[in-house]
Structure 1
Amino acid sequence: MHCGLLYSAGKDSTLAALLLEDFYDVTLVSGTFGVVDPDPAREAAESVGFDHETVDLDPAVAREAVERMYDDGYPRNGIQRVHEHAVERVAEGEWTESLDAVADGTRRDDRVPTVDRPLAQSVEDRFGVAYLAPLAGVGRGAIDAMAAQSLDVETGPSAEIPKADYEVELRALLVEEYGEGAVDEVFPDHIQSRVRGRSG
């Protein structure tokens, strides 16, 4: 069975892949608006032994998300909109000959992004794939412990960790559309992770 897992190069999506690899042929898939280089995600995927692909996301969704984030003054609704779009794009499966499941690294404590039951069922019905969220019942403490045991992870401020996820692209688009100060106005400071390989 083949699973396409939305991938940012961070520890959550990498742990999700590790949990699924005994059951699926997992391909790590990064959605892109063509704004940033996908190489950090590709390198992280290769470092843990998974194939990596990119799928093109609709630039209109990015513009809508950036406008929403700027108007709101916080990123939640924009990121949620992009994540839902990315799940659907991966589920469409245009990047592969066969796909049985689409997955992501959303976890129990996430406020955003999330995939609620109606969207998950809609994706399954429309695209004929299973939707999987292997970390949906797992809290931050357990995830940190699993990552410490199984992964070599680099952490730091989000602006300093090279990743290839749509948050990075949305930040770049915010600057392009609203100027340098827009990112600080919209995004709170937080710590990001990037996987460098499996431990041991």
Structure 2
Amino acid sequence: MEAGLLFSGGKDSALAAVMLARDYGVELNTCVFDPARDVPAVRAAAAALHLPFRRRVLGRDLLEEAADMLLVCGYPNDAITMVHRAAIEALAGEYRVVGDGTRREDRVPRLERSAVQHLEMTTGSSYVRPLLGYGKPEVERLAGRLLVVRYGETGSIGNGDYEQEIREAIRARGIDPAPFFPADHLQSLVVGMRTTGNGDTGVRQL
């Protein structure tokens, strides 16, 4: 059975992909708003995992709705969760199993239990979160053992996070997006997988 996983190219969604791939035929899905936006670093991360990759376009209407919501609220949480829900719903239209890389402590993006139940009842798809039982220390340990990861500020490492385009939409309105987002927030990008052979650990990197 195929599973569609939301994939930013970061360590969390990459770990979720590795876990799901034990039981499903996983396709990695990265969502963008702008049809012209390519995500070569995310494609490379998918290639490093040896999993098929799809770029999906959510559209500028959803981007503008997210920007409006952020400016009204004064913080990004609700807007990013709204976009994430729309992305999961898009996958549920094509896959019997859909998932993401959200962890136990994640507050954003996160679907509450009622939203998950509604999604599954209305679409017939199962929503799975392989990392939901894992805390940050264990995710970091697993990532260090399985993946080669690069870190950087939003917009500096080319991952497929929603935040970059939302920031750009706010900036296009003549508003500085920086005060609406946490400062010094590092994001991750997978650039290779670690391999083990004959008892030795090596690195397979693109």
- For the structure 1 residues 57 and 197, does the alpha-carbon distance in structure 2 shift closer, same or farther, using more than 3 Å as the test? same
Structure 1 residues 112-121 or 155-164, which shifts more? 155-164
Would you say how many aligned residue pairs link Structure 1 and Structure 2?
193
Aligned pairs (5 A) from 1:44-55: 44-55=45-56
* Contact 2:33–2:62, Cα closer than 8 Å, also in 1: no
Question: CA deviation digits over 1:70-95, x for unaligned, max 9?
Answer: 232221111011011111011111xx
How much does 1:28 deviate? 0.4
Alignment match of 1:171 (pick from 152, 156, 167): 167
**1:6 aligned residue:** 6
Identity among equivalent pairs (%): 36
**Structure 1 residue 123: deviation in Å?**
1.6
Distance 2:123 2:37 in 1: 28
Tell whether the 8 Å contact from 2:154 to 2:163 is kept in structure 1 after alignment. no
What's the counterpart of residue 184 of structure 1?
Answer: 178
For 2:31 and 2:158, locate their aligned partners in 1 and report how far apart those are by CA, in whole Å.
Answer: 16
Provide the C-alpha distance between the structure 2 equivalents of 1:22 and 1:58, rounded to a whole number of angstroms.
Answer: 33
Q: Give the C-alpha shift of residue 108 in structure 1.
A: 0.6
Residues 165 and 157 of structure 1, relative CA distance in 2, 3 Å threshold: closer
Q: Which residue of 1 aligns with 2:61?
A: 60
Higher helix share: 1
Letter of the structure 2 residue corresponding to residue 158 of structure 1: T
Tell me the residue number matched to 1:197. Answer: 192
Q: Which deviates the most, 12-21 or 69-78?
A: 69-78
Q: State which drifts further: 82-91 or 51-60.
A: 51-60
Aligned to 1:89, the other structure's residue is in SS state helix
Name whichever of 79-88 and 115-124 sits farther off. Answer: 115-124
Asked which structure has the greater CA Rg, the reply is 2
The alignment yields a C-alpha RMSD, in angstroms, of 1.4
Match of 1:96 in 2: none
Measure, in 2, the Cα distance between the counterparts of 1:60 and 1:118: 26
Partner of 1:25: 25
Q: How big is each residue's C-alpha offset from its partner over 1:104-137, in whole Å with a ceiling of 9 and x where there is no partner?
A: 0111111110011121122222222110011111
For 1:16, give the aligned amino acid: A
Q: TM-score, normalised by structure 1?
A: 0.91
Instruction: Tell me which stretches of 4 or more aligned residues in structure 1 moved more than 4 Å.
Output: none
SS of alignment partner, residue 193 of structure 1? strand
Give the residue type in structure 1 aligned to 2:164: V
Q: Which moved more, 1:32-41 or 1:2-11?
A: 32-41
Which residue in the other structure is 1:130 paired with?
A: 126
The residue type equivalent to 2:31 in the other structure is: G
Distance in 1 (CA, whole Å) between partners of 2:114 and 2:122 is 12
Gaps of 5+ in 1: 94-98
